[in-house]
Amino acid sequence: MELSLEAYSLIVQHIETRADLCTLCMVSKGFRKAAERALYRTLDVDEPTTTMLLCNVLAEQPRLPPLVTALTISLNNEEGRTDDGSNTEEQDATFSSPPGYWTSVSKALRRTARLRSLTILLDSGAPTNHAWILDRCNFQLHTFHCDFAWDAHLVSFLCTQYELTDLRISDFNEDTPETVSISTHSLRQAHTLSNLSILDCTFTEAVGVLVPGRPVTHVKTCFSSSSTEAKRAELALLLANLRLSTQPVYSLTIADASYTSAFSSELLSSLVKALGPAPRLRYVGPLVLPVDGRERLVFYGQLARLRELRSTELDVSEWEPPPASFSALRGLAREIHLYVPSVTTLVFVRDLEPTVLRAADGLWRAADDVVADTVWRVV
């Protein structure tokens, strides 16, 4: 007895493991069609042999690539792991992919025409000059995260992605000749990456190329300078480029190798001056929460000028004794909310360990279901 496609799909929704879905594929043609959709819609692979096997299947079975809408490929150096999960320096330097690995990935990508999300993560020490695998791909991504080097292949690929809204890149080189092809020729409307709204790149120079003339609202980047004077100059240029976005900036994350409460206050002051009398920022961080009571009140006053602020990340590593308990963090959250009532989510960081608190019904509770590193994306 044959069921409707909707009935098969409804049954498949209640299957919890991929192994059971594979078994279901062998029951009947109807179940195979529904089960394969569930199996191949979102793929996440990290072991090199498994990745190559999957990519070969996608290259050789024409019915399967159109089912793939999200693909994450991680190249991990499992053999080079130490007991604590890190890599040794010697193995970092020698780590490379198996023969034929990137060719297999390339062949698979050229067949996944309906792919909308692509993430390529590379372990430390892995060669990053493989953006050539994106040549001749005909999908239109909405989300693209990759650890490839910024080169002519990557730039050429990005120039074809008209629907891309979320971009995370680990490398950027303004001196690459091809970069000019992705630069904005009109500050009113960019011709390439015209729908980009989220940009995550360590290099602030990327903001100057990828934000002007585009509707970018969420930015994550990092100071490349260590001295205060150099950071001031870098911050001024960064804010000037953010003002050239065609949409208000809602979220700004600026990592720093050396966080200080003094520079955090200076950063807040610069933000308000650069983004106008009524900044639309809903998230800003990371910032250092001052220990001194008077300095903290000044800090709260600057935060309060961001009237639409919903969340922020605050480093409390300098505090002695540290606010380690939940009660201590909840007390700080209440104090902050008293001066900045618009804030409903707080990320406290102590020695690189984050704790997320969220206000609900007048109470601050631990938000264990929230990933701290994604808070800036969802405001």
pLDDT in tens, 279-288: 899 999 899 9
289 has pLDDT over 70: yes
CA angle 196, 201, 207 (to 5 degrees): 60
* Range with top average pLDDT, 14-28, 101-115, 252-266: 101-115
Of 367, 312, 371, the C-alpha closest to 342 is: 312
Prior bond of 290 cis (ω within 30°) = no
Q: What is the pLDDT of residues 109-139, one digit of tens each?
A: 999 999 999 999 998 788 899 999 999 999 9
Query: How remote is the C-alpha of 221 from its chain's centroid?
Result: 11
Give the chain's mean pLDDT.
87
For residue 346, what pLDDT is reported?
A: 96
- Cβ atoms within 10 A of the Cβ of 31, count? 19
The single residue listed with the structure tokens 């190559």 is 52
DSSP class of residue 81 equals B
Q: What are phi and psi of 353, to 5 degrees?
A: -100, 115
Enclosing H/E stretch for 203: strand 198-203
Residue 285: strand, helix, or coil: strand
Q: What is the pLDDT of residues 178-202, one digit of tens each?
A: 888 787 665 566 788 999 999 999 9
The single residue listed with the structure tokens 């490379």 is 96
What pTM value is reported for the model? 0.89
How many residues can be counted in the chain? Answer: 379
Distance CA 211, CA 207 (A): 5
Enclosing H/E stretch for 168: strand 166-169
